[in-house]
Amino acid sequence: MPSHLAIEDAYMFTDLIAGLFSHDLAIDLGTANTLVYVKGKGLICSEPSVVAVVNDGNGRGDRVLAVGHDAKAMLGRTPSGIRAIRPIKDGVIADFEITEAMLRYFIQRAHKRGKMVRPRIVICVPPCITSVEKRAVRESALSAGAREVYLIEEPMAAAIGAGLDVTAATGNMVVDIGGGTTDVAVISLSGIVTSRSIRTGGDKMDEAIINYVKRKYNMLVGERTAEQVKLTVGTACVDAKTEVMDVKGRDLVAGIPKVVAASSDEIREALVEPIHAIVETVHLTLEKTPPELAADIVDRGIMLVGGGSLLRDLDVVLRQETKLPILRSDDPFTAVVHGAGAALDNLPLLKDVALD
Ligand SMILES: Nc1ncnc2c1ncn2[C@@H]1O[C@H](COP(=O)(O)OP(=O)(O)OP(=O)(O)O)[C@@H](O)[C@H]1O
Ligand SMILES: [Mg+2]
């Protein structure tokens, strides 16, 4: 037997053994939330993409204090020395070291008993990712303990997760409104035919609320409060029912805490810009879609995923603006990770849809 074959066989054998003992993972590394799916077990965790670090001042750099929920609770409330960091900004990795620490934490969680075997990992990435960013994501995962890394574009994973047949010769449009980005993509024959991403998503909506409250009430509110306002009284279009909520913050003039009542009408006004940006992106993507696929979308509609798609009446606005059927996946938060998990369970599909 030629020696290179023997080496290849040995590799395959090691791979097989590794596969038996490791739990392969699919990870949706989102701006707001990171979700982890373990082959054979399903979704094992969904936590905010936040890492809290402390600098002990001993020259060894930052030490990770908490990841996920515990770290998010510290956002905006940290005493000096501790920093709560969101390593993914606008859908792309802004801090590689922290991302790697976060990945390591999630990989260890998936292998609770500290198994030594390195898992195969599928990571979902934004469709507009550059080759430098791709390499950095791969390297982060490898140094966090992965044996093999596959990258899938988020809209592709979302489409698989939402139950669309991505391998068929039919056009499917997916709109993923996440925390950092909105990705609009048309998929056919296991590939993305046309796509467009904007750095507008849930975070920009929160920011818009912060600015609105600052302008109108001279009051400063935190990110978490703004998000809460969006979830409670946020809406995308004029509604018969106006809701009101107490919003707490700091008066910019007097410098003391205060409370104002904000109505859903006001928050709709605050959200006009980000909503317009999302609608426009859908329009621009439709304009670039080849006619045969556009015809498919007229029949099949647009599939919405991502937490931002839960904004009240956003589907109504999109229906009015596009005149197309608008569907929302059953679980908008998990469509991406479930799609990546489904690809992990189906190696030919994974190889078909993974990026080079
Ligand atoms: N009911 C709701 N109404 C409006 N927005 C919501 C609702 N629930 C969650 N969100 C928003 O959804 C966003 C998080 O969505 P998701 O978990 O899909 O983002 P992500 O995948 O982490 O981000 P990205 O895909 O951009 O990297 C947050 O901005 C959150 O405030
Ligand atoms: Mg996402």
What separation in Å is there between the alpha carbon of 32 and the centre of ligand 1? 6
* 3 occurs within a structural domain: no
- The two tokens of residue 51 are 């890492």
With a 6 Å cutoff on the Cβ, whether 204 touches ligand 1 is no
* 335 occurs within a structural domain: yes
164 has a pLDDT exceeding 80: yes
- The two tokens of residue 17 are 């053994």
* pTM of structure: 0.88
* 68 occurs within a structural domain: yes
Q: 110 and 151: one domain?
A: yes
* 230 occurs within a structural domain: yes
Alpha helices, DSSP H, located in the chain: 3-21, 69-72, 96-110, 131-143, 154-161, 202-217, 223-233, 264-270, 272-288, 291-300, 314-322, 335-344, 347-353
Q: 138 and 177: one domain?
A: no
CA 16 to chain CA centroid, Å, is: 31
| Per-residue pLDDT tens over the stretch 309-349 | 999 999 999 999 999 999 999 999 999 999 999 999 999 99
Q: 153 and 222: one domain?
A: no
For the chain, give the mean pLDDT.
89
Domain holding 65, by residue range, is 50-85
Q: 307 and 175: one domain?
A: yes
Q: 233 and 316: one domain?
A: yes
Q: 191 and 158: one domain?
A: no
pLDDT for the residue numbered 240:
67
8 has a pLDDT exceeding 60: no
What separation in Å is there between the alpha carbon of 198 and the centre of ligand 2? 13
With a 6 Å cutoff on the Cβ, whether 333 touches ligand 1 is yes
* 7 occurs within a structural domain: no
Nearest CA to ligand 1 atom 15: 307
198 has a pLDDT exceeding 60: yes
Nearest to 37 by CA among 320, 350, 280: 350
1 has a pLDDT exceeding 80: no
Q: 117 and 235: one domain?
A: no
pLDDT for the residue numbered 97:
87
Q: 114 and 208: one domain?
A: no
Q: How confident is the model at residue 11 (pLDDT cuts 50, 70, 90)?
A: low
Q: Check which CATH number belongs to the domain holding 339 and give it.
A: 3.30.420.40
The CA-to-CA distance between both ends of the chain, in Å, stands at 31
Q: 100 and 239: one domain?
A: no
Instruction: Name which residue leads in pLDDT, 114 or 142.
Output: 142
Q: 33 and 144: one domain?
A: yes
What separation in Å is there between the alpha carbon of 31 and the centre of ligand 2? 7
Other beta carbons less than 10 A from residue 129's beta carbon: 19
Among 36, 59, 85, the domain-final residue is: 85
**Token pair 């229906």 in the structure block, residue:** 319
Q: How far apart are CA 319 and CA 221, in angstroms?
A: 32
10 has a pLDDT exceeding 70: no
Nearest to 355 by CA among 150, 140, 129: 150
SS3 97: helix
Nearest CA to ligand 1 atom 5: 308
Nearest CA to ligand 1 atom 18: 306
Q: Which of 310, 330, 331 gets mutated to test ligand 1 (max ligand atoms within 8 A of its CB)? A: 310
Question: Reading across the β-sheet that carries 120-125, which strands appear in turn?
Answer: 42-48, 33-38, 25-29, 120-125, 148-153
| Per-residue pLDDT tens over the stretch 44-57 | 999 999 999 988 77
Q: 262 and 341: one domain?
A: no
Pairing type for strands 148-153 and 120-125 reads parallel
Angle, vertex CA 67, rays to CA 156 and CA 21, nearest 5: 65
208 has a pLDDT exceeding 90: yes
Spatial contact of 266 and 285, defined as CB atoms under 8 Å apart? no
Q: 106 and 199: one domain?
A: no
pLDDT for the residue numbered 211:
98
Instruction: Name which residue leads in pLDDT, 142 or 76.
Output: 142
pLDDT for the residue numbered 327:
96
Share of the chain above pLDDT 70, in %: 92
With a 6 Å cutoff on the Cβ, whether 90 touches ligand 1 is no
Once rounded to an integer, what is the mean pLDDT over residues 271-289?
97
Q: Which of 47, 125, 204, 230 gets mutated to test ligand 1 (max ligand atoms within 8 A of its CB)? A: 230
Nearest CA to ligand 1 atom 4: 311
Number of folded domains in the chain? 3
Instruction: Name which residue leads in pLDDT, 96 or 268.
Output: 268
